[in-house]
Each structure stands twice: as structure tokens, then as C-alpha cells.
Amino acid sequence: MIEVIDSGLWTTVQDMGRHGQYHLGVPPSGAADRYSYMIGNLLVGNPENSAGLEMTLIGGEFMFRKNYIIALTGAPMEAYLNNKPISFWEVHQVQEGDRLKLKACKIGVKSYLCIAGGIDVPDVMGSKSTYELSRIGGYQGRKLQAGDKICINEPLFETSPRVGKSIPAGYIPAFTDFQELRVTMGITGYLMNDMALKTFLNSEWTVSHESDRVAYRYKGPKVSFSEMPPFGAGNSFSNVVDIAYPIGAVLFTNEEELIVLQKDGTTGGGFITIGTVISQDLDIIAQSRPQSKCRFIAVTIDQAIQARIERRQKLETLYQML
């Protein structure tokens, strides 16, 4: 068991997410930066889908009520175990009574605490992930609070030999203020004229402070819509008859602003959808701080599938190394 002394800014239980419920209005949720989360589980010897803690910007403080091995991944927060600095991307031994304190990260947004055995909370619709808007999953359907006591499953095997293992620098993601985000174009993008499409792809977009696990909002240059709103879609040229949105959908809410749906995204609506950010690059978005910039790069479905294959191969290589 671990006890929450200070819950930080926004800390929730997450795993790989719930699937097969999106058509019922329930998004997948799950770790916003899957790559960092999966490496955390890999380091401590957990199955890929074991639940961990996702921390946002400020991590908080935790007391361990039992001996565990842990790993910290994602945005590098200033971290201390019993007031001594500890590193990210490495396996550490903690003893009963030890305190882990995580301060703010200066780059990136999301950090992960993975513990051998994984966090023990009930499955809801096949997942332990927190979906706060509907108060389901995770720890009582909410972010953590001081005083919460979180149960940990027993590890599947002896974990002490993993202590000290770490990830080579080449496998640690870069947390930068500029990102290139790959997009498969389509859906209702035909409602934007050719100049608008060129502007979308050839311009820099800036992350707004109004960004969270539901969607990231970007501000940029003015684009133009085709002046032909379909019947029943409202008065704005940015409106369409309601459609289902994929996670990663790039929506134009007006001529100078777009949003990209994240893991807690709404399941449908009536905005022009110009395309979808590929799943691997949703990790990059989740680590984007307000005022950072990006550019969208059009890719084919084959290229998107290849990116997924390459990430899986990268993780399999790490598995062999550890």
C-alpha cells in the first residue's frame, strides 16, 4: 500500500485504457503518454497493462507502507526519496516508511510512477483507468487526494534483480517546445478550401492554456471554410451534421483555432474534422506545454501503420535488453 501525503496538481490512476465502449459515449482514457507509461511497466517487470499513477506538472508526495520496486518515467520532475535525489528511467528499491516527493517538471507535462505488481483498483468496463468527467474507474472515479491509501498487487515474480536497471539515453523521448505531428487527412476536410488545407499544413500552431486530457487547443493563422454548410448543421461554416470523432481528431471550431481530441475526448459532434493525429504522436501532444508550437505533417495510412510497427519493435528491443 502507498499513502498519499500530497496529491500534487492532478494525479490519477491510468492503464492502457478501456476499449469497445466508445460508441456508448465512454472514451478510452488511459495513459496520455503511452510510451513513457509502458516503459515504466517494462522497467519494473509488470505486464504492459498494469495500472500506474499519471502525474501532471507537479507530482506530490507518497509514503510507502511496504517494500516495493518503482520506476519514474515521462516528464522529468525533480524527485527525492527520503530527501535524496533519484533519477527517472531507472528502477529503484523503496522500503517501508520511505517517502517519495516529486516537485514540478520544467519540460514536458505528464510523469508516471509505476510500481511492481501494479495498482490494485477495481476494473470498470475492462479498465482501471480514471475517467473523471463521468467519475468512473481509477481510485473512486477521481484524482487522488491527500490521505488516500492505494493498494498494490503482489508482483508476478521476484523483482529485486531489476533494481538499478535503466533505459539507454537513445530510448528516452525528447521533451521539446516544438513538435511535428503526423496526421492522416480526411473525414470532413473537404469542407475547407485548398488554401485552407495548405495553411493548416504549412503553418505553426501554438498550444493554448485551455488544454487537458479531453482535448488540446491550438491557435494559429486564419483558414477559410467552403461556404456551404449542409442542411441541419447550424449557421457556422465550421459546422457539419454530427459525426463520430476518432481519438486524435483534428477539429476546426472556428477559422483561427483547432482542437485535437485526447484520451478523454468526446465521442462525436458537429465540427469540421480535417484529419486524425496518429496514435504515436498523441504521446507527444500530451507532453506539450502551453505556448509550445507544432506543425502538422500529412502522412498516409501505410506510414501511420509503419510508425506503430516501429514503436512496437522499439519496445520489444528494450524488453530483450532488460
For residue 4, give the C-alpha cell.
498519499
- 114 with 41: CB under 8 angstroms? yes
Burial of 173 (0-12, 13-18, 19+ CB in 10 A): middle
Residues 198, 63: Cα–Cα separation, whole Å: 52
| pLDDT bucket at 280, cuts 50 / 70 / 90 | very high
Residues 37, 48: Cα–Cα separation, whole Å: 9
- 100 with 133: CB under 8 angstroms? no
- Which pLDDT does position 229 carry in this prediction? 57
Residues 117, 44: Cα–Cα separation, whole Å: 8
Residues 52, 71: Cα–Cα separation, whole Å: 10
Assign domain 178-317 to its CATH superfamily: Cyclophilin-like (2.40.100.10)
The residue ranking higher by pLDDT, 173 or 159, is 173
Residues 215, 185: Cα–Cα separation, whole Å: 18
Q: Which DSSP symbol is given to 225?
A: B
User: What is the H or E stretch that residue 252 is in?
Assistant: strand 249-254
Cell 472515479 maps to which residue? Answer: 141
Residues 286, 215: Cα–Cα separation, whole Å: 9
- Which pLDDT does position 234 carry in this prediction? 57
Arithmetic mean of pLDDT, 27-32: 96
| pLDDT bucket at 268, cuts 50 / 70 / 90 | confident
- Which pLDDT does position 269 carry in this prediction? 82
Percent residues over pLDDT 90 in the chain:
77
Order across the sheet with 68-74: list the strands: 11-14, 52-56, 110-115, 68-74, 91-94
Which pLDDT tens digit goes with each residue over 39-48? 999 999 999 9
- Which pLDDT does position 136 carry in this prediction? 95
Which pLDDT tens digit goes with each residue over 115-165? 999 999 999 999 999 999 999 999 999 999 999 999 999 998 888 888 999
- Which pLDDT does position 226 carry in this prediction? 65
Residues 313, 280: Cα–Cα separation, whole Å: 13
Q: Residues 284, 87, 147, 127: is their CA dihedral positive or negative?
A: positive
Residues 87, 120: Cα–Cα separation, whole Å: 25
For residue 290, give the C-alpha cell.
502551453
Which residues have C-beta within 8 Å of that of residue 247, sequence separation ≥ 6?
Answer: 22, 27, 28, 261, 262, 263, 265, 279, 282
Query: For the chain, which residues make up each domain, given as ranges?
Result: 2-171, 178-317
- Which pLDDT does position 237 carry in this prediction? 53
Q: What is the pTM of this model?
A: 0.93
Arithmetic mean of pLDDT, 296-306: 96
Question: How many DSSP H helices and E strands does the chain contain?
Answer: 4, 19
3-state secondary structure 10-55: CEEEECCCCCCCHHHCCCCCCCCCHHHHHHHHHHHCCCCCCCEEEE
Residues 176, 291: Cα–Cα separation, whole Å: 12
Order across the sheet with 58-64: list the strands: 84-85, 77-81, 99-105, 58-64, 2-6, 149-150
The residue ranking higher by pLDDT, 280 or 156, is 280
User: How many of the other CB atoms lie within 10 Å of CB of 227?
Assistant: 8
Which pLDDT tens digit goes with each residue over 188-217? 777 777 888 889 999 999 999 999 999 999
- Which pLDDT does position 134 carry in this prediction? 93
Query: Residue 102: pLDDT above 60?
Result: yes
- Which pLDDT does position 240 carry in this prediction? 62
The gap from C-alpha 138 to its chain's centroid, in whole angstroms, comes to 15
Residues 38, 33: Cα–Cα separation, whole Å: 9
Tell me the backbone φ, ψ of residue 2, rounded to 5 degrees.
-120, 145
Mean of all residue pLDDT scores within the chain: 92
Arithmetic mean of pLDDT, 73-94: 97
Arithmetic mean of pLDDT, 274-294: 96
